[in-house]
Structure 1
Amino acid sequence: MTVSLEQLRRCHFAVDLGAARTRVYVKGAGLVVDQPSVAAVNNRSGALIAVGDLAEQMTGRTPGYIRVVRPISGGTVVDIEMAQRMLRHLLGEKTRRALRRKPRLRAAACTPHAADPLATRATIETLVGLGARRVVLVDTLIAAAVGCGLPVERPEATMIMVCGAAATQVAVLSLGSIVTAERIPVGGEAVDRAIVQHLRHAHQLMLPSQSVRPLQVALSASGLAQHGPASAEIHGRDVVTGLPRTVRVDTAAVRVAIQTPLTAVLDGIGKVLRDCPPDLVADLADRGMVMVGGSALLPGFDQMLRQATGMPVHIAERPDVCAAEGLGAMLEGRVEPLLLNPLAA
C-alpha cells in the first residue's frame, strides 16, 4: 500500500466526501452515515435548517430566504466551514461525543487521484475542525478496490473504474499501488446535463432537477441498450410559456444524448490501457474491469463498456459504498499487506 496500513489501523473513523453523498465509517460501529452532501441554510440568520436527505428534497423548492448548498464538488471540499457543519449534524451528538472521548483522535479520508495540494488541504482542515488530531489520506481508487474485494496486494493486474457524480477515475493496480491512472471530468452529473439539454433543445421542455436520475431508468429497462420501449412520457415545464407540459420522448434519441459524454470515459480507459505494461494488460483480458460508484448503476453502462473494450466488465456488489467500506476494512485491520522484505546478501 502507498499509505501505511499501520497508520490506518490507528485511525478511529473514516470519511468519504463525495460530490453526491457523504459516508462516514466509525471503527467498531461500521457505516454510520450515508447521506447526500447537501445542506439547507437560512440566509437571514445563517442557521442550518436541514442536511442530507431532507435538504436534497428541498432542492429547487425553497423560498427566497432558504439556500440549498453543496459544500463538496468533484470530491473536493469547496466550503470548509459548511462541510464541517454538515458533517457535525450528520454524525449526530451521540457519535460525536463518543469520538471526542478518544485520546488523540485520528481520521482517514478518501481523496481523488492526483488531487492538487489545495484540495487535500481542504479535506484535512475539514476533519481537523471536527476534532481530528491527525488525518491520513487514501487514494479513492485504492480504497474502492479494497472495498469491492479486489486482490490489490498481489503481483497481478486489477482494473477499477470509480464512476462518481463529477468525475470518473480509471486505474490499473498491482502490488498495492497504482500503476497507471486517469481522471476524466465526466460523471453522473454530465449524463444528467446531457438529458436536460436534449429535452430543452428537442422538445422545449425544462425538466425538474430531481426527475433526471429516475428518467434514466424509466426510459428503458435496459438503459443504454438498443431494445426497450420506443418512447416514454415526461412531465416538465414549457420553456416558452412556463406552463406544465407532458411530452412523449423518443428513447433512442435520449440514448444517443447519454452516450455522447460517455465517449470521454472510453477514451480515458484506452489511455490507461496504452500506458500499462503489456504483462498487466494480458492479465486484464481474462479478469476484466470492476465498476464502482453511484453512476456505475446506470442501466446498460457496463454492457456499453464491454462492447467497446472487449474485456469483461463487472459491477461491484454494492458499488456506491465500496470506497467507504474499503477504508473501514483498512481501519479494522482486515487487509493483510504483502511483505516484501529485503533479501539478505
Structure 2
Amino acid sequence: MTVSLEQLRRCHVAVDLGAARTRVYVKGTGLVVDEPSVAAVNTRTGALIAVGTFAERMTGRTPDYIRVVRPVSGGTVVDIEMAQRMLRHLLGEKLRRTLRRKPRLRAAACTPHDADPLAQRATVETLVGLGARRVELVDTLIAAAVGCGLPVEQPTATMIMVCGAAATQVAVLSLGSIVTAQRIPVGGEAIDHAVVQHLRHAHELMLPSQAVRPLQIALHGNGITAEGPASTLIHGRDVATGLARSVHVDTAAVRDAIHTPLTAVLDGIGKVLRDCPPDLVADLTDRGIMMVGGSALLPGLDQKLRDATGMPVAIAERPDVCVVMGLGAMLEGKIAPMVLNPLSG
C-alpha cells in the first residue's frame, strides 16, 4: 500500500469529499453520511440555511440573497471554511459528540491521484478543523480498488477506472501500489454539459438545472449504444421566448455530441496501457477493467469501453460508494498486507 495500513487501523472516521457527494464512514458503525456536497448560505447574515439534498434542490430556485455553493470541486476542497460547516451539519450533533469522545481523534481521507500539496493540505485542514488530531491521506484509486474487492495486494495486474463527476481516473495496480495512472479532466458533468449544449444549439432548448440528469433523460434504454431508442421527448425552456416547450430529440445526434468527452477518456485508458509493462497488460486481457464511481452507471459506457479496448469491462456492485467503503475496510483492518520474506543464504 502507498499508505501504512497500521496507521489507518488507528483511524476512527473516513471521509470521501467528492465533487458531487460527501460520504462519511465511522469505524464500527459503517456509512453514516451520503449526501450531495452542496450548501446554501444567506449572504446577508452569513448563516448556513441548508446542506446536502435539500440545498441541492434549492439550486436555481433561490432569491438573490441566498447563494448555493459547492465547497468541493474536482475532488479538491476549494473553500475550507464552508466545507467544515457543511460537514458539521451533515454529521449532526449526536455523531459529533460521539467522535469528540474519542481520545486523539484520527481521520482518513482520500485525495485524487497526483493531487498537488496545496489540495492535500486543504483536505487535511478541513478535517483538523472538525477536531481530528491526525489525518491520513489515501489515493482514491487505491481506496476504490479495495472497496470493490480487487486483489490489490497480489502480484497480478488489476485495472481500476474511477468515473467521478469532475474527472476520470484510470490506473493499473499491482502489489498494493499504482504501477501507472492517468487523471483525465472529464467526468459525468462534462458529458452532461455536452448534452445541454447540443440541445441549446440544435433545438434552442434550455434544460432546467435541477432536471433529472440530462443524459439519463436523453439516453434511456441502451444508452449510448446504437440499439437505444431512436428519439426521446425532452421538456425545457425555449431560448428565444422563455416559454416551456417540448421537442423530440434524435438520440443518434446526442451520441455524436458526447463523443468528444468520451474520446478523451478512451485516450487516457490507451496511455495507461501503453505505459504499463507487457506482463501486466497480459494479465489485464483476462481480468479487464473494473469501473467504479457514480458516472460508471452511465448507460452503455461499459459496452463502449469493451468495443474500444477489446477487454472485459465490469461495473462494481455499488460503484458510487466503493471509495468510502474501501477506506472503511482499511479502518476495520480487513486488508492484510502481503508479507515478503527475504531469501536466506
Q: Into which bin does the TM-score normalised by the smaller protein fall?
A: over 0.9
Q: Which residue of 2 aligns with 1:155?
A: 155
Q: Which blocks of at least 5 consecutive residues in structure 1 are unaligned?
A: none
Shift of 1:297: 0.3
Amino acid at match of 1:116: D
Contact map agreement 2:218 2:254 (CA 8 A) in 1: no
Shift of 1:230: 1.2
Q: Deviations over 1:89-121 (max 9, x none)?
A: 000011110000000000000000000000000
Q: Deviations over 1:235-288 (max 9, x none)?
A: 111111112111111111011112221100000000000000000000000000
Q: Which residue of 1 aligns with 2:184?
A: 184
The question of 1:75 aligning with 2:72 is answered no
- Mapping for residues 242-261 of structure 1, pairs under 5 Å: 242-261=242-261
Q: Which residue of 1 aligns with 2:4?
A: 4
* Alpha-carbon distance between aligned partners in 1 of 2:343 and 2:276, rounded to the nearest angstrom: 28
Q: Deviations over 1:183-229 (max 9, x none)?
A: 00000000011001000100111111122515425533100110122
The question of 1:115 aligning with 2:123 is answered no
Bigger CA drift: 276-285 or 254-263?
254-263
- Mapping for residues 79-158 of structure 1, pairs under 5 Å: 79-158=79-158
Amino acid at match of 1:36: P
Bigger CA drift: 331-340 or 223-232?
223-232
Contact map agreement 2:192 2:215 (CA 8 A) in 1: no
Q: Which residue of 2 aligns with 1:27?
A: 27
Q: Which residue of 1 aligns with 2:210?
A: 210
Contact map agreement 2:19 2:72 (CA 8 A) in 1: yes
Q: Deviations over 1:6-58 (max 9, x none)?
A: 00000000000000000000000000000000000011111000000000001
Q: Which residue of 2 aligns with 1:301?
A: 301
Q: Helix, strand or coil: the match of 1:220?
A: coil
Contact map agreement 1:196 1:212 (CA 8 A) in 2: no
When the two structures are aligned, how many residues end up with a matched partner?
A: 345
* Alpha-carbon distance between aligned partners in 1 of 2:281 and 2:219, rounded to the nearest angstrom: 36
Q: Which residue of 2 aligns with 1:238?
A: 238
- TM-score norm. by structure 1 comes to 0.98
Contact map agreement 1:217 1:298 (CA 8 A) in 2: no
* Alpha-carbon distance between aligned partners in 2 of 1:318 and 1:217, rounded to the nearest angstrom: 22
Shift of 1:77: 0.0
* Alpha-carbon distance between aligned partners in 1 of 2:278 and 2:326, rounded to the nearest angstrom: 28
Contact map agreement 1:224 1:255 (CA 8 A) in 2: yes
Shift of 1:341: 3.4
Contact map agreement 1:162 1:291 (CA 8 A) in 2: yes
Contact map agreement 2:218 2:234 (CA 8 A) in 1: no
Shift of 1:232: 1.2
Amino acid at match of 2:322: C
* Alpha-carbon distance between aligned partners in 1 of 2:180 and 2:267, rounded to the nearest angstrom: 14
Contact map agreement 1:106 1:133 (CA 8 A) in 2: yes
Q: Which blocks of at least 5 consecutive residues in structure 2 are unaligned?
A: none
Contact map agreement 1:220 1:251 (CA 8 A) in 2: no
* Alpha-carbon distance between aligned partners in 2 of 1:214 and 1:199, rounded to the nearest angstrom: 10
